[in-house]
Amino acid sequence: MDTTRRRFLAAGAAGIAGLGTLGSASAAPDTHTLTVDGFGPPTTYSFTVGGDLEKSTADGATIDRSDRIVGRSAHGAVGDGKDAYTFTGELSSFDFDGLGEINVLLDGEPAHVGNRPDHTLVIEGFGTTTPYSFVIGKGTASQSDACDASVNDSDQTTDFGTGGAVRSGTDAYVYDGFLQSFDFDRPGEINVTIDGEAAHVGRRPDRTLTIAGDGEYTPYEFSVSGSIRGIIEIDEERAIVDSPTVSGAVSGDGRDTYTYDGDLTELTYPDDCSPVIHSNDEVVTSTDY
């Protein structure tokens, strides 16, 4: 996370070790109080917790109708005032407008929100085993037990993407950055949320194709069955995008990245080159097509 654009008080110095310190003399053993104190212009925020979540007037906070609770997530804004919540479980993620200035306390102690993930992604299944894969832009995901999710060894995350499967349970991930692409087996039925709200995965690109150089100059060409949705990172002098076909080249440790819908239908590069290519979390080579 780039914390240079974020201003938060008493939050960043203690590091990860301070995150597990929960509880207070006035709270029930598993009930925690989160306060968000503002200092001027309205600052939007959102967070997700592991259990029940309610608004509170603790420590002189006001309850505002515009602050929303969606399941186990809250979305609100604070100006020159204070918001408060009580919850059970853990504070899984916390995000806020990086231009704002807030002080966030957890049971009266700094919540260290700058050291916590920004977002919680939850994938809920409904009976049919449904494989899925996704890529986080400007970050990577980590498995989480947020929202009663299970942590499965079969669900894997790499620097390039994440892949897993869900049936009648829940998978969850925490991450910084943004959800860049998301694909799943279409006969399946899943519900995907980000911080408690619909992730609208049907509107996002299905897949991210990343072509990483192996040290040598490597020209390539690929085609997809759908369309090229975005150009994330390329050498503009070498790339020609004529959707659904792209031709380009990488050299050294360079990397070209695209988003697209549909399936990868063609992939070519010289036989004496060995670029590392991922479609979401899946490793692909020219021999696959």
pLDDT in tens, 206-218: 999 999 999 999 9
Which is higher by pLDDT, 22 or 175?
175
* 16-30, 225-239, 272-286: the lowest-pLDDT one: 16-30
Q: What is the mean pLDDT of residues 44-54?
A: 96
**Any idea what DSSP says for residue 286?**
G
Q: Report the percentage of the chain scoring pLDDT > 70.
A: 90
pLDDT in tens, 110-132: 999 999 999 999 999 998 999 99
Give kind and range of the element (H or E) at residue 130.
strand 130-137
Q: Tokens for 7?
A: 């201003």
Q: Tokens for 200?
A: 């609208």
**DSSP letters along 72-83, please?**
TEEEEEESSSEE
Tell me the C-alpha distance between 157 and 115, whole Å.
20
Amino acid letter for position 240: I
Question: Is the predicted pLDDT of residue 149 greater than 90, yes or no?
Answer: yes
* Contact present, 135 and 160 (Cβ < 8 Å): yes
Q: Tell me the pLDDT band of 238, cut-offs 50, 70 and 90.
A: confident
- Supply the pLDDT for residue 100: 79
How wide is the angle at C-alpha 150 spanned by C-alphas 174 and 162, nearest 5°?
Answer: 45
SS3 17: helix
- Supply the pLDDT for residue 137: 97
Q: Tell me the pLDDT band of 21, cut-offs 50, 70 and 90.
A: very low
Q: Tell me the pLDDT band of 18, cut-offs 50, 70 and 90.
A: very low
Q: Tokens for 148?
A: 């009663």
Q: Quick count: other Cβ atoms within 10 Å of Cβ 203? A: 8
Mean pLDDT, the chain, rounded, equals 90
Question: Is the predicted pLDDT of residue 48 greater than 60, yes or no?
Answer: yes
Q: Tokens for 158?
A: 């790499």
* CA nearest neighbour of 180 among 258, 246, 244: 258
Q: Tell me the pLDDT band of 14, cut-offs 50, 70 and 90.
A: very low
Amino acid letter for position 272: D
Which is higher by pLDDT, 100 or 137?
137
Q: Could you tell me the residue ranges of all domains in the chain?
A: 3-115, 119-203, 207-288
- Supply the pLDDT for residue 23: 38
